[in-house]
């Protein structure tokens, strides 16, 4: 009979090949043990990355589930889901509004215009009328239905400081048949790593959960699994629920809106905005508040900063910053080029129509800014033009990705690259469906289908393939069971804390993100 050592070497030869066998022949004697042979990961991206199957998303979660869970977690007596809704949309009305919190004219710039971060915002906005509707009534055109559940593990920092983002998208039902009455909401939660001592490997339970969805045939079973993940987490693996206040707070995720609610008397442009949740108290156990706070739209510099004739004091510092990003913007790959925009340059709204966020319309290709950028391109040996660099920067903004950079001869990006198409202002739509493997799905954009999701699939399958056979174990992340709160000064009303301002929330967000790796599993790009 063959000895155990010879049998083990034969197995190594079959699994690893002859070179590995040669190395092992000169090493210490082999101790028998289980072989770790992992199947090549092969996930279904429409089950494990971007879920739009109607039978799944519409049975998994509702807007009332999301806002209700946040209200309950706050432990604020009497706070209901509808109260959070009303406070959220009243931020787009002028003061005094409902008296629930911030209004859009509470902060102004030097010119006296309503502003966020010193850049003007539209105030009021038609969406402020949403305080008068019931978003939870399925029989109403004002009902907000779920249209997508999204796994963005590709946004996990490569140091494993969190497990990426997990999103849920809602659309106002009126938009299904009325192109002028559309409003979409995107809750983008950053999920903590349950085993932070294990770095990236600590997120394996999250990855294995989403991978398992690919193997489940019954859509209602998948809906129940996703419902549990979003609202309860994976308790036996230490994974928190996706829907928690802290996951949308400074230093974590965000809530974004994509708005096009028109009236005959008040037509508006398509506009995207961004919010943070702020739980603020004077101290634990005291009277607290919970509010949606409007903040800057990230990677969305104010358009006039691209102009050589701008009188904005931040224009020259912005130009120096963008020139420092030319190397990154010159990458010859749609999934790899990016730019870092410090928050001091970001505006509080991103318009998908008009010139405000059309950066090329502000840019002078023969001006001083362009000439400085050309010198940098020449030093790099790049054939790109300054205008192509500006177009690439525009793709990284919300308005650019959703509309302004849709393919056309005028929007070529150099290196033969053309930005892939959205569905006209959105990347997943409530207005159309497709049949995929006999199941009805909300339609996604060519950009997602042909460019972004295939990249995310490669990244996710690569992470699964690289997981070690033996799970890393470290002290699990233990939460207090209460939401993260911001300590605020006592107001003149007594023990109640004053609501934080957008500036305070944005500053805290920057502080909490300092030191975090910019490189993610999916590459250096932090958006899309």
Question: What pLDDT is attached to residue 1?
Answer: 39
Question: What pLDDT is attached to residue 266?
Answer: 87
| pLDDT band for position 479 (cuts 50, 70, 90) | low
Report if residue 383 sits inside a domain.
Answer: no
Strand partners, 170: 146, 185
Tally of domains in the chain:
2
Pair (152, 188) in one structural domain = yes
Q: Per residue in 210-261, pLDDT tens?
A: 999 999 999 999 999 999 999 999 999 999 999 999 999 999 999 999 999 9
Report if residue 407 sits inside a domain.
Answer: no
Range 433-440 average pLDDT? 97
| pLDDT band for position 528 (cuts 50, 70, 90) | low
CB atoms within 10 A of CB 399: 28
% of the chain beyond a pLDDT of 70: 88
Question: What pLDDT is attached to residue 526?
Answer: 64
Pair (209, 255) in one structural domain = yes
Range of the domain at 503: 45-300+428-513
Report if residue 421 sits inside a domain.
Answer: no
256, 273 Cβ separation under 8 angstroms: yes
- CA terminus-to-terminus distance, the chain: 60
Question: What pLDDT is attached to residue 10?
Answer: 35
Question: What pLDDT is attached to residue 489?
Answer: 62
Pair (20, 58) in one structural domain = no
Pair (65, 214) in one structural domain = yes
Question: What pLDDT is attached to residue 81?
Answer: 98
Pair (95, 214) in one structural domain = yes
Question: What pLDDT is attached to residue 370?
Answer: 98
Q: What is the DSSP letter of 452?
A: I
Asked if residue 446 has pLDDT above 60, the reply is yes
Longest dimension (CA), the chain: 91
Question: What pLDDT is attached to residue 24?
Answer: 29
Pair (70, 29) in one structural domain = no
Half-sphere exposure of 46 (CA within 13 A, CB side): 22
Question: What pLDDT is attached to residue 265?
Answer: 87
Question: What pLDDT is attached to residue 5?
Answer: 40
Pair (110, 175) in one structural domain = yes
Pair (31, 113) in one structural domain = no
The helix/strand/coil state of 51 is strand
Q: For residues 422, 330, 520 and 342, what is the CA-based torsion angle, rounded to 10 degrees?
A: -90
Range 445-474 average pLDDT? 94
Asked if residue 80 has pLDDT above 70, the reply is yes
Residue 144: partners with Cβ closer than 8 Å, 6 or more residues away: 63, 135, 136, 170, 171, 172, 173, 183, 185
| pLDDT band for position 523 (cuts 50, 70, 90) | confident
Pair (21, 65) in one structural domain = no
Pair (69, 125) in one structural domain = yes
Report if residue 344 sits inside a domain.
Answer: no
Alpha helices in 91-218 (DSSP H): 204-213
Report if residue 166 sits inside a domain.
Answer: yes
Q: Per residue in 97-129, pLDDT tens?
A: 999 999 999 999 999 999 999 999 999 999 999
Pair (86, 69) in one structural domain = yes
Range 342-358 average pLDDT? 97
Question: What pLDDT is attached to residue 71?
Answer: 98
Q: Per residue in 32-42, pLDDT tens?
A: 445 566 777 89
Report if residue 316 sits inside a domain.
Answer: no
Report if residue 327 sits inside a domain.
Answer: no
Asked if residue 269 has pLDDT above 50, the reply is yes
363, 355 Cβ separation under 8 angstroms: no
Distance (Å, rounded) from C-alpha 359 to C-alpha 404?
A: 9
Question: What pLDDT is attached to residue 497?
Answer: 64
Report if residue 345 sits inside a domain.
Answer: no
| pLDDT band for position 327 (cuts 50, 70, 90) | very high
Pair (128, 183) in one structural domain = yes
Q: Per residue in 140-180, pLDDT tens?
A: 999 999 999 999 999 999 999 999 999 999 999 999 999 99
């Amino acid at each position: 009979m063959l000895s155990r050592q010879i049998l083990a070497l034969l197995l190594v030869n079959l699994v690893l090949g002859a070179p590995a066998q040669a190395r092992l022949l000169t090493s210490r004697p082999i101790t028998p043990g289980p072989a770790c042979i992992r199947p090549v990961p092969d996930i279904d991206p429409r089950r494990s990355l971007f879920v739009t199957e109607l039978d799944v998303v519409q049975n998994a979660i509702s807007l009332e589930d999301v806002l209700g869970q946040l209200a309950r977690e706050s432990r604020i007596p009497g706070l209901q889901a509808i109260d959070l809704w009303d406070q959220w949309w009243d931020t787009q009305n002028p003061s005094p509004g409902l008296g629930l919190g911030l209004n859009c004219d509470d902060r102004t710039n030097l010119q006296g215009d309503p502003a966020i971060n010193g850049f003007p915002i539209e105030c009021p906005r038609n969406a402020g009328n949403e305080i008068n509707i019931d978003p939870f009534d399925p029989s109403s055109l004002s009902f907000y239905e779920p249209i997508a559940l999204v796994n963005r593990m590709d946004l996990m920092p490569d140091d494993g400081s969190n497990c990426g983002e997990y999103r849920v998208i809602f659309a106002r039902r009126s938009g299904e048949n009325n192109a002028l009455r559309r409003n979409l909401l995107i809750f983008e939660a950053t999920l903590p790593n349950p085993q932070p001592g294990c770095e990236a490997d600590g997120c394996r339970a999250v990855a294995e959960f989403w991978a398992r969805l690919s193997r489940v045939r019954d859509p209602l079973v998948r809906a129940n699994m996703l419902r549990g993940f979003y609202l309860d987490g994976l308790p036996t693996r230490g994974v928190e629920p996706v829907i928690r206040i802290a996951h949308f707070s400074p230093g974590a995720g965000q809530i974004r809106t994509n708005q096009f609610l028109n009236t005959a008397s008040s037509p508006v442009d398509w506009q995207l905005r961004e919010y943070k949740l702020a739980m603020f108290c004077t101290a634990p156990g005291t009277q607290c508040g919970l509010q949606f706070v409007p903040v800057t739209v990230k990677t969305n510099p104010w358009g006039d900063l691209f102009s050589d004739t701008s009188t904005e004091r931040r224009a020259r510092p912005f130009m120096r910053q963008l020139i420092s990003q030319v190397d990154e913007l010159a990458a010859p790959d749609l999934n790899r080029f990016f730019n870092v925009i410090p928050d001091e340059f970001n505006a509080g709204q991103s318009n998908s129509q008009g010139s405000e966020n059309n950066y090329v319309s502000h840019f002078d290709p023969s001006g001083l800014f362009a000439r400085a950028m050309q010198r940098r391109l020449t030093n790099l040996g790049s054939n790109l033009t300054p205008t192509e660099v500006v177009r690439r920067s525009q793709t990284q903004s919300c308005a650019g990705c959703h509309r302004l950079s849709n393919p056309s001869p005028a929007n070529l990006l150099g290196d033969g690259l053309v930005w892939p198409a959205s569905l006209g202002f959105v990347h997943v739509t409530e207005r159309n469906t497709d049949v995929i493997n006999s199941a009805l799905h909300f339609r996604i954009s060519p950009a997602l289908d042909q460019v972004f999701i295939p990249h995310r699939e490669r990244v996710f399958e690569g992470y699964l393939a690289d997981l070690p056979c033996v799970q890393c174990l470290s002290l699990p992340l233990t939460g207090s069971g209460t939401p993260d709160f911001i300590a605020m000064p006592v107001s003149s009303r007594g023990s109640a804390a004053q609501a934080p301002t957008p500036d305070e929330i944005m500053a805290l967000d920057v502080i909490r993100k300092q030191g975090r790796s910019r490189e993610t599993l999916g590459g250096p790009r932090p958006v899309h």
